[in-house]
Amino acid sequence: MCVELHMRIAMRKHQQKAHEGVPQEKKICGVCGASVLDLASHMRAFHPKEEDFRFICSVCNKKFALYSRLNKHKKVTHGIGDMLKCDLCPKEYAIKKNLEAHRNMHLNIRPFKCPKCPMAFTREEVLKKHKLYKHEGVKCPPNRPRKKKVVEVETSESDSD
C-alpha cells in the first residue's frame, strides 16, 4: 500500500510539472455535478464503491476508500500517530487546522472576518454559521443554546475537537 500511495503522489507531481500551463479538460461528475480534473480520484474520494474500501483500521476494522482518511481516523478516533501539541497549554490535536484555531484563541487572532459586519472568528466554519444565521435569515436550530455571546459559542464548539 505504501508503494502504491508513493507512486500515485509521484505521478501527480509529474503531471503537475510536465503539464504546467497546459489547460486540462475538466470532467463533470455524474453523481454530484462537480467539475473535476481527475474523475477517478473524485469518485474514490466522494462516491466510493464497496470495492474501493480497501484500507482497514487495525484497531476497529472500519474500512476506508482513501489511505489518508484511514490515517485521520486512527489519529482522531484511536490517538494513533503523532499528535500536535499546543505550545501555550497542554492540549493536543490530531488535525493541524484544529490546533491552529485553538492557538488563535489563546492569541485572540480571528482571521475569518465577516464581510457584512465587524465580527471575526478563529474558525472558518463558525464564520459560515454566523453568516447563515445573522445575514441570510436562516433560523437557529431549536436545540442551539440561545443568549450566549458569540465568543462563548465559538469557544465551546472549537474546544470540542
Question: What pLDDT does 159 receive?
Answer: 47
Grid cell at residue 152: 462563548
Contact of 99 with 80, CB cutoff 8 Å: no
Question: Domain 84-158 maps to which CATH number in 3.40.50.970, 3.30.160.60, 1.25.40.10, 2.115.10.20?
Answer: 3.30.160.60
- Statement: residue 100 has pLDDT above 50: yes
Phi-psi region of 81 (alpha: psi -120 to 50; beta: other; left: phi over 0): left
Grid cell at residue 136: 441570510
Question: What pLDDT does 99 receive?
Answer: 92
Q: What is the pLDDT of residues 113-122, one digit of tens each?
A: 999 999 999 9
The full set of domain ranges for the chain reads: 48-81, 84-158
Q: What is the pLDDT of residues 1-37, one digit of tens each?
A: 455 556 667 777 777 777 777 677 888 888 888 888 8
Q: What is the pLDDT of residues 45-93, one digit of tens each?
A: 888 888 888 899 999 999 998 888 898 898 888 888 888 899 999 998 8
- Say what angle helices 96-107 and 150-158 make with each other, to 10 degrees: 140
> When comparing pLDDT for 89 and 142, which is higher?
89
Q: Could you count the other beta carbons within 10 Å of the beta carbon of residue 79?
A: 11
Contact of 34 with 42, CB cutoff 8 Å: yes
